[in-house]
Amino acid sequence: MSLTEAGAGPAAELPFFVYGTLLPGEPNHDLFLRGRTTGERRAVLPGALLYDGPGYPYAVEGHGAVHGTLITAVPGVYGELLGLLDHLEEYLGPGHPRNLYERVIRTVEFPVAGFPVAGFPGVGFPEAGEAGEAGEAGDGGPEVPAAAGEQPVRAWVYLAAAAVTRSLRTSGILIPDGRWVTGRPPPPGRRTP
Protein backbone atom coordinates (compact mmCIF):
# COMPACT_ATOMS: atom_id res chain seq x y z
CA MET A 1 0.00 0.00 0.00
CA SER A 2 1.27 3.44 -0.87
CA LEU A 3 1.10 6.14 1.77
CA THR A 4 1.14 9.74 0.71
CA GLU A 5 1.29 12.96 2.61
CA ALA A 6 -2.49 12.88 3.10
CA GLY A 7 -2.23 9.56 4.96
CA ALA A 8 0.59 10.75 7.20
CA GLY A 9 -1.19 13.54 9.03
CA PRO A 10 0.09 17.10 9.31
CA ALA A 11 2.44 16.45 12.25
CA ALA A 12 4.39 13.57 10.68
CA GLU A 13 7.99 14.75 11.10
CA LEU A 14 9.55 11.83 9.33
CA PRO A 15 13.16 11.62 8.18
CA PHE A 16 13.91 11.99 4.45
CA PHE A 17 15.46 9.38 2.17
CA VAL A 18 17.65 11.08 -0.48
CA TYR A 19 19.34 9.33 -3.39
CA GLY A 20 20.71 11.90 -5.85
CA THR A 21 22.00 15.45 -5.75
CA LEU A 22 21.20 15.70 -2.01
CA LEU A 23 23.65 12.92 -1.09
CA PRO A 24 26.79 13.89 0.86
CA GLY A 25 29.36 15.21 -1.62
CA GLU A 26 26.72 16.09 -4.24
CA PRO A 27 26.00 19.72 -5.21
CA ASN A 28 22.65 20.16 -3.43
CA HIS A 29 23.77 18.60 -0.16
CA ASP A 30 25.55 21.72 1.09
CA LEU A 31 22.97 24.09 -0.40
CA PHE A 32 19.95 22.47 1.22
CA LEU A 33 21.09 20.20 4.06
CA ARG A 34 24.19 21.72 5.68
CA GLY A 35 23.25 22.87 9.19
CA ARG A 36 19.72 21.46 8.87
CA THR A 37 20.37 17.80 9.71
CA THR A 38 21.29 15.98 12.90
CA GLY A 39 22.04 12.66 11.31
CA GLU A 40 22.77 11.09 7.95
CA ARG A 41 22.92 7.32 7.46
CA ARG A 42 23.29 5.07 4.47
CA ALA A 43 20.01 3.34 3.69
CA VAL A 44 18.22 1.44 0.95
CA LEU A 45 14.76 1.95 -0.51
CA PRO A 46 13.47 -1.50 -1.53
CA GLY A 47 10.78 -1.83 -4.19
CA ALA A 48 12.18 0.94 -6.38
CA LEU A 49 14.24 1.46 -9.52
CA LEU A 50 16.58 4.35 -10.28
CA TYR A 51 16.68 6.15 -13.63
CA ASP A 52 19.24 8.67 -14.85
CA GLY A 53 17.69 12.02 -15.66
CA PRO A 54 19.35 15.03 -17.20
CA GLY A 55 21.50 16.08 -14.24
CA TYR A 56 19.68 14.19 -11.51
CA PRO A 57 18.06 10.81 -10.90
CA TYR A 58 14.47 9.66 -10.51
CA ALA A 59 13.30 6.77 -8.35
CA VAL A 60 10.16 4.92 -9.43
CA GLU A 61 8.24 1.95 -8.03
CA GLY A 62 9.77 -1.32 -9.26
CA HIS A 63 11.45 -4.61 -8.49
CA GLY A 64 14.81 -3.42 -7.26
CA ALA A 65 16.37 -1.17 -4.66
CA VAL A 66 17.73 2.38 -4.57
CA HIS A 67 20.75 3.23 -2.42
CA GLY A 68 20.86 6.55 -0.64
CA THR A 69 20.99 8.34 2.69
CA LEU A 70 18.42 8.79 5.43
CA ILE A 71 18.55 12.30 6.87
CA THR A 72 17.00 13.60 10.06
CA ALA A 73 16.15 17.29 10.41
CA VAL A 74 17.49 19.44 13.24
CA PRO A 75 14.72 20.08 15.79
CA GLY A 76 12.95 23.34 14.96
CA VAL A 77 13.90 23.45 11.25
CA TYR A 78 11.74 20.59 9.99
CA GLY A 79 9.15 22.85 8.36
CA GLU A 80 11.84 24.95 6.69
CA LEU A 81 13.63 21.86 5.37
CA LEU A 82 10.38 20.32 4.13
CA GLY A 83 9.56 23.51 2.22
CA LEU A 84 13.05 23.74 0.72
CA LEU A 85 12.99 20.12 -0.45
CA ASP A 86 9.45 20.42 -1.86
CA HIS A 87 10.60 23.46 -3.85
CA LEU A 88 13.80 21.77 -5.06
CA GLU A 89 11.91 18.65 -6.15
CA GLU A 90 9.15 20.69 -7.82
CA TYR A 91 6.49 19.12 -5.62
CA LEU A 92 3.33 21.26 -5.54
CA GLY A 93 1.03 18.91 -3.60
CA PRO A 94 -0.35 15.38 -3.82
CA GLY A 95 -1.15 14.46 -7.43
CA HIS A 96 -0.64 17.99 -8.79
CA PRO A 97 -0.34 17.78 -12.60
CA ARG A 98 2.82 19.95 -12.63
CA ASN A 99 4.71 17.84 -10.06
CA LEU A 100 8.11 16.62 -11.15
CA TYR A 101 8.23 14.35 -8.09
CA GLU A 102 5.62 13.08 -5.62
CA ARG A 103 6.50 13.15 -1.91
CA VAL A 104 5.42 9.80 -0.45
CA ILE A 105 6.07 7.73 2.66
CA ARG A 106 8.07 4.56 2.16
CA THR A 107 9.92 2.12 4.38
CA VAL A 108 13.71 2.25 4.14
CA GLU A 109 16.19 -0.28 5.46
CA PHE A 110 19.68 -0.13 6.94
CA PRO A 111 21.69 -2.95 5.39
CA VAL A 112 24.73 -4.26 7.20
CA ALA A 113 27.92 -4.32 5.11
CA GLY A 114 28.05 -7.47 3.04
CA PHE A 115 24.46 -8.49 3.82
CA PRO A 116 21.57 -8.14 1.35
CA VAL A 117 18.41 -6.09 1.75
CA ALA A 118 15.52 -8.35 2.83
CA GLY A 119 13.80 -9.80 -0.22
CA PHE A 120 16.43 -8.43 -2.64
CA PRO A 121 19.34 -10.89 -2.95
CA GLY A 122 22.54 -9.22 -4.07
CA VAL A 123 21.38 -5.78 -2.91
CA GLY A 124 23.36 -4.50 0.04
CA PHE A 125 26.29 -2.30 0.86
CA PRO A 126 29.79 -3.38 -0.12
CA GLU A 127 32.31 -4.43 2.47
CA ALA A 128 34.64 -1.72 3.77
CA GLY A 129 37.08 -0.60 1.10
CA GLU A 130 35.03 -1.82 -1.88
CA ALA A 131 33.99 0.56 -4.62
CA GLY A 132 30.81 2.49 -4.00
CA GLU A 133 31.20 2.82 -0.23
CA ALA A 134 30.31 6.24 1.10
CA GLY A 135 32.67 8.07 3.40
CA GLU A 136 31.62 10.16 6.34
CA ALA A 137 28.24 11.80 6.34
CA GLY A 138 27.69 15.54 6.22
CA ASP A 139 26.83 17.71 9.21
CA GLY A 140 25.36 14.74 11.08
CA GLY A 141 28.87 13.49 11.87
CA PRO A 142 30.33 10.15 10.89
CA GLU A 143 27.98 7.54 9.54
CA VAL A 144 26.73 5.05 12.05
CA PRO A 145 26.98 1.51 10.69
CA ALA A 146 23.80 -0.53 10.75
CA ALA A 147 23.46 -3.10 13.48
CA ALA A 148 22.34 -6.60 12.59
CA GLY A 149 18.57 -6.78 12.85
CA GLU A 150 18.06 -3.01 12.89
CA GLN A 151 14.43 -2.21 12.16
CA PRO A 152 13.36 -0.41 8.95
CA VAL A 153 11.91 3.09 9.31
CA ARG A 154 9.29 5.14 7.49
CA ALA A 155 10.58 8.18 5.65
CA TRP A 156 9.59 10.78 3.09
CA VAL A 157 10.84 9.92 -0.39
CA TYR A 158 10.50 11.93 -3.59
CA LEU A 159 9.50 9.52 -6.37
CA ALA A 160 9.03 10.52 -10.01
CA ALA A 161 5.54 11.90 -10.68
CA ALA A 162 3.17 9.83 -12.86
CA ALA A 163 3.93 11.54 -16.19
CA VAL A 164 7.67 11.40 -15.57
CA THR A 165 7.44 7.73 -14.56
CA ARG A 166 5.62 6.84 -17.81
CA SER A 167 8.33 8.56 -19.83
CA LEU A 168 11.15 6.89 -17.89
CA ARG A 169 9.65 3.43 -18.26
CA THR A 170 9.46 3.82 -22.06
CA SER A 171 12.65 5.72 -22.86
CA GLY A 172 14.60 6.31 -19.64
CA ILE A 173 18.09 5.09 -18.79
CA LEU A 174 17.92 2.61 -15.91
CA ILE A 175 20.76 2.68 -13.38
CA PRO A 176 20.96 -1.09 -12.82
CA ASP A 177 22.53 -1.16 -9.35
CA GLY A 178 20.38 1.66 -7.96
CA ARG A 179 23.36 3.85 -7.02
CA TRP A 180 23.39 7.42 -8.31
CA VAL A 181 27.18 7.68 -8.11
CA THR A 182 27.56 5.04 -10.80
CA GLY A 183 25.07 6.72 -13.13
CA ARG A 184 26.39 10.25 -12.82
CA PRO A 185 28.65 11.69 -15.49
CA PRO A 186 32.05 12.97 -14.30
CA PRO A 187 32.23 16.64 -13.27
CA PRO A 188 33.00 19.12 -16.10
CA GLY A 189 36.67 19.23 -16.96
CA ARG A 190 37.37 15.77 -15.52
CA ARG A 191 38.39 12.95 -17.77
CA THR A 192 37.37 9.40 -17.19
CA PRO A 193 40.08 6.72 -17.16
**DSSP letter assigned to residue 109:** B
Per DSSP, the three-state class of 69 is strand
Active site residues: 89
Query: Contact at 8 Å (CB) between 39 and 58?
Result: no
Query: Contact at 8 Å (CB) between 67 and 44?
Result: yes
Measured CA to CA, the distance from residue 1 to residue 105 in angstroms comes to: 10
Measured CA to CA, the distance from residue 175 to residue 72 in angstroms comes to: 26
Q: How far is CA 70 from CA 17, 87, 162, 170, 187, in A?
A: 4, 19, 24, 29, 25
